[in-house]
Structure 1
Amino acid sequence: MAPRTGGSAFTASAPVDTPGCDGAPASVGPELRLSLLLARHGGSTDARIREALTTSGVTPRHAIVLMHLDGGRIGQRDLGTRLGVDPSVLVTLLNALEDRDLVRRRRDPADRRRHIVEITEAGVAAATKLGAAIGRVEDELFADLTAQERDTLHALLARVRTTQGGVCEGEADTDL
């Protein structure tokens, strides 16, 4: 057996081509598993985005909230639905953004039980800077892709099921 060299679990290796009972390869190298490839690239992308946002003091989640609000004011419950977060998590995010004067919450005059969330001028300026920082990260990440390939990747990733809500009734939930 050859000595093992250092490296991460995601280092490229040739897939094992010893056939199994059905004639298919008995195992597949990790670089051929889409979920592992996506996880590796997701982790790297997250780290790059966090680094790009470091100087702003805003987290990626805060940036996403600001980007949603940049299109106009929205009800707090609707914002939580769009973001797919628990109301308590949304309140924590909004509190942090409100403390920095990036968003404002107020009661809806038509329905006092409802809160309206809107971005402030400072929030718009921050969203613009955050968008530019994320754009630079994307330009680096996707430099080897054409515009058409980027569009195709975007369309494909938009169809990937990453939440439990996408599981059909009767399908088994499995944990990795």
Structure 2
Amino acid sequence: MARRPGGVTPAISASGNSAGDDACESAGPESRLSLLLARHGGITEAWIREALTTSGVTLRHAIVLMHLDGGRLGQRDLGARLGVDPSVLVALLNALEERDLVRRHRDPADRRRHIVEITEAGAAAVTKLDAAIGRVEDELFADLSPQERGTLHSLLARLRTTHGSACTEARDPDC
């Protein structure tokens, strides 16, 4: 295959097929894993947000509910799992509590500690959220085998996506 001026070969396509033996030298955006991941991440997020609109729950609220579906948690532990600043967590919990999807109460063993638990309405919402997200995943990953999905999950779980600090901006949609 002919090289482009400057010695750069055509980029790897979004499907992952290389355009030549020297494709790793390409400067095309499709050859950059981070850009490819960002593009697919943005599309996936939009699909999930659209799927969640019928539930009336935001993506961030859905993630909180899904964490609590496994059992009650201390508020500080929940914030650590989510990687959010305590003030951001309070705003999320206030909104969920107003809709009777979660409940907070003081830990009888340690009055300084708040326990957060999902309500029956919250558990019902998680069932709907899980089904909506499942439909998105079925469409998104339709061309992947179960083994490939497992490999992708394993690889994505290993990515370093934080800069070592908790999210501090309540208005930051990427937080």
**TM-score scaled to structure 1, two decimals?**
0.81
In structure 2, relative to structure 1, the CA distance for the partners of 1:65 and 1:15 (3 Å cut) is farther
> Distance in 2 between the 1:28 and 1:65 partners?
39
Q: Deviations over 1:56-106 (max 9, x none)?
A: 110111001000000100000000000000000000000000000000000
State the aligned residue count.
Answer: 151
Structure 1 residues 16, 91: closer, same or farther in 2, change over 3 A? farther
Residue 140 of structure 1 aligns with an amino acid whose one-letter code is E
Which whole-Å CA distance do the structure 1 matches of 2:82 and 2:111 have between them? 23
Taking a change above 3 Å as real, the CA distance of residues 159 and 92 of structure 1, as seen in their structure-2 partners, is same
TM-score, length of structure 2 as denominator length: 0.81
1:31 partner amino acid: E
CA contact (8 A) 2:52 2:132 kept: yes
In structure 2, the partner of 1:89 is 88
1:55 to partner: Cα distance: 1.2
More relative contact order in 1 or in 2 (CA 8 Å, sep 6+)? 2
Q: Is the alpha carbon distance of 1:152 and 1:27 closer, same or farther for their aligned partners in structure 2, counting shifts above 3 Å?
A: closer
Q: Runs of 5+ in structure 1 lacking a partner?
A: 1-13, 167-176
**Map of 1:170 onto structure 2:** none
Within 5 Å, give how 1:120-131 maps onto structure 2.
120-131=119-130
Structure 1 segments of 4+ aligned residues over 4 angstroms from their partners:
14-17, 23-27
Report the aligned-residue RMSD.
2.2
Query: Percent same amino acid at aligned positions?
Result: 80
Q: Aligned AA for 1:120?
A: T
Aligned twin of 1:110:
109
